[in-house]
C-alpha cells in the first residue's frame, strides 16, 4: 500500500444482502484506487462467511420490499452474489476477519468459514490493526 494513502476498514454487522453488497462494492473501488482494505464480519454479517450459507440473500424489512428486483437482477447478471464479490475483493488483496465473540455466540467453528477468511479475532485486535485507517460500520 502507498504509505500516503489511508487504508479502509469495513466492519459488517448487518446481515442484509444490500448492505453487504454495497460495502463490498465500496471496497472494490478503494482497492482499485490502491488502498488497503480489511473487513471485520460480526454478528449477522458473519453468516455470509459460512461455507454452507455463503449464497444467502437475506434482507432486512426495508430491503424485503425490493426482493423481486434484487433476485431478478442477480439472475440476469446485473448484480453479483456476495460470494462473487468476496472472491473479487480477496483476489485484489482485501483481508477478511471474523469476530471471535460472534463466532462463539452463533456457535460457528473456524472450519465452517470459507477459505477467504484470513483470521478470526476480537474487536480490540481489529481496531488496533486498523488504527490509522478510515473505518466504516455497516
Flag whether pLDDT at 1 surpasses 50. Answer: no
Q: If you average pLDDT over residues 126-138, what whole number do you get?
A: 96
Q: What is the pLDDT of residue 72?
A: 81
Which of the residue ranges 31-40, 79-88, 129-138 would you say has the lowest mean pLDDT?
79-88
101 — pLDDT class (breaks 50, 70, 90): very high
DSSP 8: E
How many H helices and E strands in the chain?
6, 5
Question: Per residue, what are the HEC states of 83-120?
Answer: HHHHHHHHHCCCEEEEEHHHHHHCCCCHHHECCCCCEE
| β-sheet bridge partners, residue 11 | 40, 137
pLDDT in tens, 34-59: 999 999 999 999 999 999 865 667 77
pTM: 0.86
Kindly report the backbone phi and psi dihedral angles of residue 121, in degrees, each rounded to the nearest multiple of 5, phi listed first: -160, 170
pLDDT in tens, 104-122: 999 999 999 999 999 999 9
73 — pLDDT class (breaks 50, 70, 90): low
Tell me the CATH number of domain 8-105+116-137, given options 1.10.1760.20, 3.40.50.620, 3.90.1170.40, 3.40.1260.10. Answer: 3.40.1260.10
Amino acid at each position: 500500500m502507498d504509505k500516503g494513502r489511508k487504508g479502509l476498514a469495513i466492519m459488517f454487522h448487518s446481515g442484509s444482502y444490500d448492505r453487504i453488497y454495497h460495502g463490498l462494492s465500496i471496497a472494490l473501488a478503494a482497492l482499485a484506487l490502491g488502498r488497503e482494505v480489511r473487513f471485520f464480519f460480526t454478528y449477522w454479517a458473519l453468516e455470509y462467511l459460512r461455507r454452507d450459507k455463503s449464497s444467502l440473500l437475506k434482507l432486512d424489512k426495508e430491503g424485503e420490499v425490493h426482493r423481486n428486483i434484487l433476485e431478478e437482477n442477480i439472475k440476469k447478471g446485473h448484480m453479483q452474489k456476495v460470494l462473487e464479490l468476496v472472491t473479487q475483493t480477496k483476489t485484489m488483496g482485501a483481508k477478511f476477519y471474523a469476530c471471535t465473540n460472534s463466532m462463539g455466540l452463533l456457535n460457528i467453528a473456524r472450519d465452517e468459514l470459507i477459505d477467504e477468511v484470513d483470521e478470526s479475532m476480537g474487536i480490540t485486535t481489529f481496531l488496533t490493526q486498523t488504527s490509522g485507517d478510515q473505518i466504516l460500520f455497516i
